[in-house]
Amino acid sequence: MRIETKAIHVGEEPDFRAGSYGDVTSPIHLSSTFATLDIDRPTGGYDYSRSGNPTRNALEQKLAAIENADHGLAFSSGLAAESTVCLSLVKPGENIVAFNDLYGGTRRLFDQILAGDFSIGIRYVDARDPENIKKVIDSKTKLVYLESPTNPLLKMADIKSISDIAHERDIPVAVDNTFASPYFQNPLDLDADIVIHSTTKYINGHSDSIGGAVMVNRDDLYSRFKFEQNAIGAILSPFDSFLVMRGIRTLGVRMRQHAENAMKIAEFLETRNEVKKVIYPGLTSHPQHDLAGKQMKGFGGMLSFELEAKAEKIEKFLKTLKVFSLAESLGGVESLIEIPARMTHKGVPSSERKSLGISDSLIRMSAGIENVQDLIEDLENAFLTL
């Protein structure tokens, strides 16, 4: 079964048993607890919704299916998913080797919570070269953590090569696959051990739910994460589970349009004298274009670019846009635009932003699924302000 079909049907097969109604969408089970006929055995398989809920379970089946995984877990946010994975695997005095270009919220979690409060070492490296990973892992490394493509610079990590290096030392590899989505990339197929998503983004796709997901093949990791999720309580609500399932149903058609629009916008931006640089894996000008084509099935809806303009002009450019919304987040049907240095990555020290290449003139764009000509005309009008 291919991903478009799995996205619609897995977890939502009509139930024709007595007392059921043949729903083609999974019902929302809002009950916090479930009555039982026996003290020691839940009658319907559920006892308390933190530990398990039929709607969330249906979503978790669908999440696993679209990521080619054996197991899926739905969390209350992407950061809740990240936190559970990291705290399950890494203890005080041990360390995580991580790509140095990461979402600002992940950097905050790593630097201020894991390193600051839990004394977990964080070793940032430029993971574009797998050898940089090999140089820093040691006996206390318990997790390799990657984004690919990264946020906001769309750098690529060779997931297969890095996984091979980590597995020589029995170190699991986690990949935040949010930017690519399961439609365009499947890290487990590239030998990663753990896939993490902010379902808030492309998986839900409608900017109306906050959530996260973890997908794995290994039974031991699934049991560990599920136990800690239940113990900590970082679960997705039944209603949000329903919203995410609804969103997944259109994942394929949405992702194809996101990618088509992003490519056309990237090509348009490359023609503008006001633009210093365009960063999009689908462009041959991207330094890792070949790697992106090798491990991704498409190039996604995210792109970044730098303007040849001062801060006040850039601000005016952004405020002139009418179809694009000036907002954080990404992956919804609507087009969003933001300045990482002043918004999503403002918590990263300026010296680190500069060393990574996150300049004050860098703009990150989430191309929506509107008519692309309307998006380009909106940009053309804003360019008149520069």
Residue 71 exposed, middle or buried by CB count within 10 Å (0-12, 13-18, 19+): buried
d(CA 186, CA 197) in angstroms, rounded, equals 12
Query: Could you confirm whether 322 is annotated as catalytic?
Result: no
Query: Could you confirm whether 134 is annotated as catalytic?
Result: no
User: Which candidate, 269, 380, 266, 386, places its Cα nearest to that of 323?
Assistant: 380
Beta carbons of 73 and 233 less than 8 angstroms apart: no
Question: Choosing from 201, 226, 254, 353, which is the catalytic residue?
Answer: 201
Kindly give the residue spans of alpha helices, DSSP state H, lying in 10-89. 54-66, 78-89
Query: Could you confirm whether 201 is annotated as catalytic?
Result: yes
Question: Choosing from 47, 50, 191, 249, which is the catalytic residue?
Answer: 50
Q: How many residues would you count in the chain? A: 386
Question: Choosing from 62, 123, 158, 176, which is the catalytic residue?
Answer: 176
d(CA 141, CA 77) in angstroms, rounded, equals 26
Residue 345: both structure tokens together: 């990555």
d(CA 146, CA 192) in angstroms, rounded, equals 10
Q: Taking phi first (over 0 means left), then psi (-120 to 50 degrees means alpha), and beta for anything else, what does residue 382 get?
A: alpha
Q: How many CB atoms lie within 10 A of CB 259?
A: 23
Question: Choosing from 46, 103, 124, 222, which is the catalytic residue?
Answer: 103
Which amino acids are annotated catalytic?
Answer: 50, 103, 176, 201
